[in-house]
Amino acid sequence: MGPLAPQLMAHLETMDGRDVLPELDGWAGDALLILGTATCGACRRARQVLSVLSVEQLGGPNLRVIDVDAVHAMGLVHDWEIDHLPGLVLVRDGEPWAKVSARLEPGVLAAAIRAVRRGAADPDL
């Protein structure tokens, strides 16, 4: 892990999927949900890439990063039309806002997340 990892890891939360929407209800700000499984190699890669990025690299403060167990969140996976794991979804003010799609490389993924947070990408949820 890089030297910036503690800045993001302090904000990384883990939820089993059943409690994520009630938890985000009333949240004023952005949350990046990482929908994945423990056995998914690409999901582990996404967590690894995100662990070297600071919150500032992801567009600044007021961002929660939440690792969600997709096994217990199949309703969200279906409702939000997540067609592959990991599914990266930006939730804004408690509502699903946009999917984030990018190569799992630190600079590329950070730029995609910043673009979605700025509104440079069209919301698709």
pLDDT 10s per residue in the chain (125 long)? Answer: 444 444 554 467 888 888 888 888 888 889 999 999 999 999 999 999 988 888 888 888 778 899 999 999 999 999 999 999 999 999 999 889 999 999 999 999 999 999 999 986 655 65
Given this model, what pLDDT does residue 112 score?
93
Which range of residues forms the domain containing residue 38? 5-117
pTM reported for the whole predicted model = 0.84
Query: Cα separation of 53 and 109, whole Å?
Result: 9
- At which residue do the structure tokens 């067609």 appear? 83
Show the tokens assigned to 30. Answer: 């952005």
Residue 123 included in any domain: no
Residue 12 included in any domain: yes
Pairing of strands 30-36, 87-92: antiparallel
CATH number at residue 84: 3.40.30.10
Residue 48 included in any domain: yes
The total of structural domains in the chain comes to 1
Residue 89 included in any domain: yes
Residue 77 included in any domain: yes
Given this model, what pLDDT does residue 11 score?
65
Cβ-proximal residues to 17 (8 Å cutoff; 6+ apart), any chain:
35, 68, 69, 70, 71, 72, 73, 74, 76
**Bridge-partner residues for 34, per DSSP?**
67, 88
Residue 124 included in any domain: no
